[in-house]
Amino acid sequence: MEIVLVAPEIPHNTGCAARLAAALGLRLHLVEPLGFSLDDHYLKRAGLDYWPLVDLVVHADLGRAWGSLARGSPRPFEERLRLFTARGGTSLFETDFAPDDVLVFGSESRGLPAGLLEENDRRRVYVPIRAGVRSLNLANVVCLSVYTAMARAGLPFPDNDGKYEPHPLAAADVRPASRVVRIDA
């Protein structure tokens, strides 16, 4: 399962998604443009000392992200897409997920591109909220959605009984920018 943030704008939300990815052992993809620098203090702070555990890939644009994500699975890429939006689709809690799904989240102010949502109408997923509430915080939606998708896909969660022992790499002072695998071509 892969987590993709398209043009995220708020470093704290991306840092929270990175921390989640580290906690679950999932890859986090960021699609440019980013609304912040990968050296941003708030991004590092939100990810705490877990940046050495983040498998972070940055893509120059959506086309390059799709090209990279389409490889490595026997299932057609379009079937693996789950496009999260506050504007219609299937409820998160009624959506079927598979272990190789690609969970895609849009920017905080604009969401995902309208054309992408229109072309993939059957791949849209939303989190139910009350009428009159525009949307939920991106970091909250990513966390809720990833855990729900993993459970519904039958993926195992980390074997942890709630005890904390620091990971040996977590003590390192690592900046997010140093963890990037950049895919421009």
Set out the domains of the chain in order of their start, with CATH numbers.
2-157 (3.40.1280.10)
For residue 84, what is the enclosing H or E element? strand 81-84
What backbone phi and psi angles, to 5 degrees, belong to 52?
-65, -20
> How many distinct helices (H) and strands (E) make up the chain?
6, 8
What backbone phi and psi angles, to 5 degrees, belong to 53?
-95, 0
**Distance, CA of 123 to CA of 83 (rounded, Å):** 6
pLDDT of 37: 83
pLDDT of 52: 81
DSSP state of 116: H
CA dist 73 → 147, 179, 182 (Å): 21, 24, 21
Question: 127-185: per-residue pLDDT in tens?
Answer: 999 999 989 999 999 999 999 999 999 999 998 877 777 776 665 566 666 666 666 65
What are the DSSP calls for 13-82, one per residue?
HHHHHHHHHHHHT-EEEEESPPSS-TT-HHHHHHHGGGGGG-EEEEESSHHHHHHHHTTT-SS-HHHHEE
For residue 91, what is the enclosing H or E element? strand 90-91
Q: Is residue 29 packed enough to be buried (19+ CB in 10 Å), middle (13-18) or exposed (0-12)?
A: buried
Question: 31-73: per-residue pLDDT in tens?
Answer: 999 998 887 666 666 556 777 888 999 999 999 999 999 987 8
